[in-house]
Amino acid sequence: MQQLEVIKILKKDLNFNDGAIEKLKKFAELVLGENKNHNLIAKSTEASIWDRHILDSAQLVKFIDFNAGSLADLGSGAGFPGLIIEIFNKNKDFHVKLYEKSLVKRQFLINVIKKLDLNAEILGDVRDEVLDSDIIVCRAFKKLDRVIQVSREIAKKPHKLMILKGKNAQEEINKTFKTKKYSYKLVNSITNEKSKIILMEIHQK
């Protein structure tokens, strides 16, 4: 999918407004520019940044209640999906927190937030920080069992968990849930017929 096609989907199906689209364009430029110096996204995906990274991240807005208190993005990297969600967000009382252990990537995120006038908070490694959000999202962070472990052990309260996964999503679920069962919903990704979104409700012990 090319940029124009993705923008059409973002506006028509996901309700991104014109202001958000302009910020996404600038964000894409910043990611591609910085990718010349640091490996933010795989070089092989630069040409498909609009569908592989932006649209893939943006589809999560369908499942997010922006009246909730806050959202945490674990292992935010270049800002996918956290900054895409913040660019869409119209509620100034809804806080987006980006957890990223790489200093280089944190510096990039700080720069993007300043240039695009976004309201997101940058934090370090999730294991060294407080995790108290109502919604936790992640993409290419860790294997499912490790994500659930972080989610259950570090998060301070019950929360919704949304994980963007590739073609091995069901396989990971089967392996992870062998010993302990969790209720979940598996949703098809709009960017790749084999990719999935895992939606879960995590209740603390």
Distance set, CA 178 to CA 33, 175, 182 (Å): 44, 6, 10
pLDDT digits (tens, 9 = 90+) for 45-91: 999 999 999 999 999 999 999 998 999 999 999 999 999 999 999 99
On whether residue 163 sits in a domain, the answer given is yes
On whether residue 4 sits in a domain, the answer given is no
pLDDT of residue 141: 81
pLDDT of residue 188: 95
**Which of 42-46, 91-95, 104-108, 172-176 shows the lowest mean pLDDT across its residues?**
172-176
If you average pLDDT over every residue of the chain, what do you get?
93
pLDDT of residue 138: 95
On whether residue 8 sits in a domain, the answer given is no
On whether residue 81 sits in a domain, the answer given is yes
pLDDT of residue 204: 62
pLDDT of residue 179: 74
Backbone phi, then psi, for 37, in 5-degree steps? -100, -40
What are the start-end ranges of the H helices in the chain?
3-12, 18-34, 49, 56-58, 82-88, 103-115, 144-154, 169-176
Residue of higher predicted confidence among 179 and 9: 9
pLDDT of residue 43: 95
pLDDT digits (tens, 9 = 90+) for 8-22: 999 999 999 999 999
**Domain coverage including residue 80:** 60-202
Output 62-65 pairs: Cβ under 8 A, ≥24 positions apart. 62/14, 63/160, 63/162, 63/187, 63/197, 63/199, 64/135, 64/162, 65/134, 65/135
Q: Which residue has the tokens 């993005």?
A: 73
On whether residue 183 sits in a domain, the answer given is yes
Instruction: Give the DSSP per-residue string, 112-143.
Output: HHHHTT--EEEE--GGGS-B--SEEEEESSS-
Overall average pLDDT of the 110-135 stretch: 95
CATH number at residue 90: 3.40.50.150
On whether residue 12 sits in a domain, the answer given is no
On whether residue 188 sits in a domain, the answer given is yes
pTM value is 0.94
Q: Which residue has the tokens 């010993």?
A: 179
Inter-residue contact 108 to 82 (CB < 8 Å): no
On whether residue 15 sits in a domain, the answer given is no
Name the domain count of the chain: 1
Distance set, CA 55 to CA 11, 60, 78, 92, 121 (Å): 11, 9, 14, 23, 22
pLDDT of residue 156: 83
Task: Describe the crossing of helices 169-176 and 144-154 by its angle, rounded to 10 degrees.
Answer: 60
Overall average pLDDT of the 165-182 stretch: 84
Inter-residue contact 31 to 41 (CB < 8 Å): yes
User: Which DSSP category does 180 fall into?
Assistant: S
